[in-house]
Structure 1
Amino acid sequence: MTTLMFILGIVIFVLGLLFSIAWHELGHLSTAKMFGIRVPQYMVGFGPTLWSRRKGETEYGIKAIPLGGYIRMIGMFPPGDDGRVRQRSTSPFRGMIEDARAAAYEELQPGDEKRLFYTRKPWKRIIVMFAGPAMNLILAVGIFLGVLMAFGIPTSTTTVATVQECVVAQSEERDECRAGDPAAPANEAGMLPGDTILEFNGEPVTDWGTLQQDIRATVGPADITVERDGAPLDLRVNLIENQVAKLDGNGEWVEGEYVTTGFLGISPASGIVKQDFPEAVDRMGDIMVTGFEALLAVPSKVPGLWDAAWGVGERDQDSPMGVVGAARVGGEIFTLDIPASQQVATALFLVAGFNLSLFLFNMLPLLPLDGGHIAGAGWESARRKGAKLLRRPDPGPFDVARMMPVAYVVAAVFICFTLLVLAADIVTPVRLAG
C-alpha cells in the first residue's frame, strides 16, 4: 500500500508539472495570437513527439521528456544587417547567430511578412514573453491562497503542548534538569499541557507569534489566563531571563544564534489552522520573499550539491531540487502519516512552489530565458525613444540574435547545474521525514 501511495504521489506531481508547463506556454501562445504573430508549434516537453494534432495553423503536441516546453513563433529575430535571413560565416560565434536567425524563419510562408515577432512593438513583445512566467505566478498564487484558506496549514497554536521542568539555556542543547537549575516559571505557576492561553497581562491572545513576542519582552511578574477543562483560570507567573534561539522576520529560529529574553518555559501545540484572506495574502508575501531569497542563494548551494552528488556530504533540507527530487518528495508526501486532506494540501503546495520557481527563474534577464527577451525588447524601446528625443535616426530593432553566443554559455551553465542537481537527487535525495 505504501509503494502504491508513493507511485500515486509521483504521478500526481508529474501531472501537475505537465499542466504547469502547458499553462506557461499557453500564456505565450494566447498573447502571440492576440497580436497576430504566427505560431506554427505549441509543444509540452522536449525530444521525440508522443502525440500531436494540428488545429488551424498551429501544431499542438506532447513530447517524451517533461522538462519544459516551447512555442515556435515566426521571426523571433530580425534579418541581418544586409537584410538577408542567412549569410554563412566561418566564425563560430557568427555561425551561432546566423543559425538562430535562420531557425526563426525556417517555416516562413507567403503572407508572414507582417506576422513576424520582431516586427511587433516592444511593449507587445514584452507582454508575449512575460505572459508565460505570469501564468506560473497566477497559478502559484491561486494554489497557495486556496490551500491556505480551504485546507489550512500546520500552525503553532496558543494551546500548551509541553511545560519545561526547569530553566536550561537553549545553547546547551540538553533536556534533562541538573541540580541548581531553577524551576521554569510556567511549571512553578502550575501551568499544564493542554491549557489554552486566553490572555497575557490583560490582553487577549489570538496567535502564538504575538504571544511569543510578549513573553520574550517580559521579565518579572505577569498575569496569564488559561482555559482548562472548559473554564478560565488565572495564573500568576514570574518570568525570568534565559538564553533562547534568535528569531528571524518570519518567526523561524536562526540556527546557531541566541539572544537573552524573557522566558516562560512552554512549547506550543501544532494544529491545522485555516487562514482568512488577509492572513493568506500576508503569508503568500512571505513565501514570495523566501522564494526570491532562495533563488539568490543558489550559487552558494553549489558546493553542498557537489558533495551530495558524490555522496561525501549531507544534503541540506533547503537544497535546490530538480524534477526527479521533487517527484520523489511528491511520492513521499502520500506516505506520510497525516490526514488525506493534508497530503493533498502538501502536494498542492509542492506544485505551487514549482510554479513560483518557474516564474522567478524565467524572469532572470538572461537569454535564452523569457527575461532575456524582455530585457532585449526593453532596451530596444529605450534606445528608440532616446534617438527620437535626440532627433537621431531610428536605430531599428535590437538584434537579440547577436546575444546568442552568451545564450549558449548561459544554457551550458544551466545544463551543468541541472545535471549536478539530478545527481544529488539520485545519490543523496532530500527527504521529508528526516
Structure 2
Amino acid sequence: MALLGILFLIVGLLVSVGLHELGHLIPAKRFGAKVSHYFIGFGPTLWSTYKNGTEYGIKAIPLGGFVRISGMLSPGRASRRTVGSDGKPTMAEEARQQSAAELEEGEESQAFWRLSVPKRIVVMFSGPFVNLLLAALCMAVVMCGIGSGVASNQLSAVQACVTTSSECTDSDPVSPASAAGLQAGDEIVSWGGVAVSDWADIQREIADGGTESAPVVVVRDGEELTLTVQPVETERPQYDSDGNAVTDDDGNAVTASVPYVGISPAYALERQSITSVPGSVWSLATGTAAVVARLPMELWSTGVDLVTGADRSTSGVIGIVGVADVAGSITSVQSDQYTLVARIGDLLMLIGSLNMSLFIFNLIPLLPLDGGHILGALYEGVRRQFAKLRGRPDPGPVDMARALPLSYAVAVFFVLMTVFLVVADIVSPVI
C-alpha cells in the first residue's frame, strides 16, 4: 500500500514540474523567443517529437524536467574582459558563446535577452506562478470538496490506564475514562453540564474542571447515557503550536501537571467555504517562506541531530525521501477511521504543499533559480530608467554571464543539500 502513495507522489511531482515548465514555455513562445527543448525527466531520451521548432519529449529519470529557452545570456559590453590570464576564454565568455550558439543564423532576434524587461519577468515568473495556482487548487479541492480533518466530539480511543509508555502494566492505575465506562465511538454532547460540539470544547471543559468529578452525557448506539468522570492530576508532555514536544536547554521534555482523562478524538471531514481558501493559501505561503528563510539554520540543526543521535524536529526540513515516506504512510497506515477519501485529501494537500515549496523556492533571488533571472531583469529595468531620467545613453542589457560563478556555487550547494537530506531521511527519518 505504501507504494501507491509513493507512486501518487511521483506522478503528482511530474505533473507539477511539467506544468511549471509549460508556464515558462508558453509565454516565451508567445513573445517570440526560441524554445528549443521541453522535456519531462533527465538522462537518456525515451521519446521525443518536434513541433514548431521545439523538441518535446520524455527522459528516463523521472526527477524533474526542463525547458530550454535560447539566448538567455546577452553578449555584454564590447569592453568586457573575454580572456583570462592564461589566454583562454573566461568562464563568462564561454557561457556567452554557448548561449549565442543556440541560435541559428537569422534567429538572433529570437534570443531571450532581447525581450523587453516586462516580458522576461512574465516568462520567468509564470513557472513558479503555475505552482502557486496548483497549490491553491489542491487546497480548494480538499477544503471545499473533500473536507479538512477536524477533531470532533466523538471518541476514537479510550486509554485503559494512566501511563506515559505505550503499554499498561499491573502497577498503572485505571484511567478516569475507562473507570467511568467511556468507550470508543461515544459521542460526547455535554461535559460538566456544558454542551460541547467539538474536541476544543471538551478540552476546555476538562481543563476548567480540574480534578472535580463531572457528569458527562454521551450518545451511544442512538441512546443518551450519563456517566461520571473524575480526572486525575498527572504530568504530561507539553507541545508547541506546531505539535512538537517542548524541550528545555538540555533537550529534556518539558512536562506540566494537568487534569487527565484518557480519551482521544475521532476526526471528521468538514467542508469549508471557498472564501476560506485564500487565507489558508496565504498561511501556507508565509509558513513555507519562513522555513526557506531559516534553511541554513535548519540544515545545521539536522546535521547536529544526525551527529548526536537526537530525534529530528517534525517541523524541520526533509528531503524527497522523507516526503516519499510521508506519502507511503498515508496509504499504508491501518485505521478504520482513516477513510479512502481522507487519504486522498491528505495526498492532495501533500502535493499542494510541495507546489507551494516550489513556488517560494524558485523565487529566491539567486541564479540559476527563476528569482535570479527576475532580479536581473528588474535591475536592468531600473538601471535603464535611471539613465533615461539623467539624460544618459541606454546602458544596454545586464551581463548575466558575470554572475555565473555565483550561479555555479548555488547549484553545487543545492545538490549537496539534496544529497545531505536524502542521507538524513534514511539514517534518521522524521518520526
Do they superpose with TM above 0.5?
Answer: yes
8 Å contact from structure 1 (residues 308, 424) kept in 2: no
Counterpart of 1:102 in structure 2 is: 97
Counterparts of 1:19-418 in structure 2, within 5 Å, are 19-82=15-78, 87-90=82-85, 95-161=90-156, 194-198=185-189, 205-209=196-200, 211-213=202-204, 215-216=206-207, 226-230=218-222, 246=238, 248-249=240-241, 254=246, 256-257=253-254, 263=259, 265-277=261-273, 278=275, 283-303=280-300, 305-306=302-303, 317-318=314-315, 320-338=317-335, 339-418=339-418
Q: CA deviation at 1:296?
A: 3.3
| Distance in 2 of aligned mates of 1:182 and 1:362 | 54
Whole-angstrom distance in 1 between the partners of 2:93 and 2:170: 74
- Cα deviation for residue 402 of structure 1 reads 1.6
In structure 2, relative to structure 1, the CA distance for the partners of 1:341 and 1:126 (3 Å cut) is same
| Counterpart in the other structure of 2:8 | 12
1:86-108 Cα distance to aligned partner (Å, 9 max, x none): 94444799722222222322221
- TM-score normalised to structure 1 length: 0.78
Question: Quick one: distance in 2 between partners of 1:331 and 1:175?
Answer: 30
**What's the CA shift string for 1:298-350, capped at 9, x where partnerless?**
32343465478789665555554433443454445433324444443343333
Aligned partners of 1:206 and 1:387: how far apart in 2? 65
2-structure distance, mates of 1:423, 1:93: 39
Decide whether aligned partners of structure 1 residues 351 and 167 sit closer, same or farther in structure 2, where only a CA change above 3 A counts: closer
Q: What amino acid is aligned across from residue 61 of structure 2 in structure 1?
A: I
Would you say how many aligned residue pairs link Structure 1 and Structure 2? Answer: 421
8 Å Cα contact 2:234/2:260 also seen in 1: no
Is the Cα contact below 8 Å between 1:129 and 1:373 reproduced in 2? yes
Structure 1 residue runs of 5 or longer lacking an equivalent are none
Matched residues in 2 for 1:125 and 1:88: separation? 29
Secondary structure of the residue aligned to 1:417 is helix
For 2:332 and 2:175, how far apart are their aligned partners in 1? 41
Summarize the Cα distance change of 1:310–1:247 in structure 2 as closer, same or farther, 3 Å threshold. closer
Letter in 2 for 1:298: L
SS in structure 1 of the partner of residue 332 of structure 2: coil
* 2-structure distance, mates of 1:405, 1:268: 55
Give deviations 1:225-259, integer Å, cap 9, x for gaps: 65455355678989898765555446776454456
Question: With structure 2 as the length reference, what TM-score do the two structures score?
Answer: 0.78
1:135 Cα offset (Å):
1.1
SS in 1 for 2:72: coil
Q: Which moved more, 1:323-332 or 1:47-56?
A: 323-332
- The more displaced of 18-27 and 381-390 is 381-390
SS of the residue corresponding to residue 40 of structure 1 reads strand
Q: Give the Cα–Cα distance (whole angstroms) in 2 for the partners of residues 321 and 252 of structure 1.
A: 15
One-letter amino acid matched to 2:410? V
Measured on the aligned residues, the alpha-carbon RMSD in Å equals 4.2
Once the two structures are TM-superposed, the CA of residue 393 in structure 1 deviates from its matched residue by 3.7
- Structure 1 residues 259-296: Cα deviation after superposition (integer angstroms, max 9, x where no partner): 677x4635332224133135565555444444333333
Alignment partners' CA distance in 1, 2:169 and 2:206: 23
Question: How far apart are the structure 2 equivalents of 1:328 and 1:72?
Answer: 32
Query: For 1:175-207, what per-residue CA distance to the aligned partner results, in whole angstroms no more than 9, with x for missing partners?
Result: 88999x9996x7898866544333568876443
Structure 1 residue 422 displacement after superposition? 2.7
Contact kept, 8 Å, 1:160 with 1:194, in 2: the verdict is: yes
Between 315-324 and 230-239, report the one with greater CA deviation: 230-239
Alpha-carbon shift at residue 79 of structure 1 (Å): 1.3
Rounded to whole Å, the distance in 2 between the matches of 1:36 and 1:62 is: 24
Alpha-carbon spacing, 1:235–1:330, altered in 2? closer, same or farther (3 Å) = closer
Q: Deviations over 1:369-413 (max 9, x none)?
A: 111111112222233333334444433322222211111111111
Range 38-47 or range 364-373, more displaced: 38-47
> What is the CA-CA distance between 1:46 and the residue it aligns to?
2.5
Instruction: State the alpha-carbon separation in 1 of the partners of residues 209 and 344 from structure 2.
Output: 40
After superposition, the Cα gap between the structure-2 partners of 1:162 and 1:54, relative to the gap in structure 1 and judged at 3 Å, is closer
8 Å contact 1:160–1:266 — kept in the other structure? no
Query: One-letter code of the match for 2:129?
Result: A
In the superposition, relative to structure 1, how do residues 301 and 157 fare at CA in structure 2: closer, same or farther (>3 Å)?
same
Deviation at 1:351, TM superposition (A): 2.6
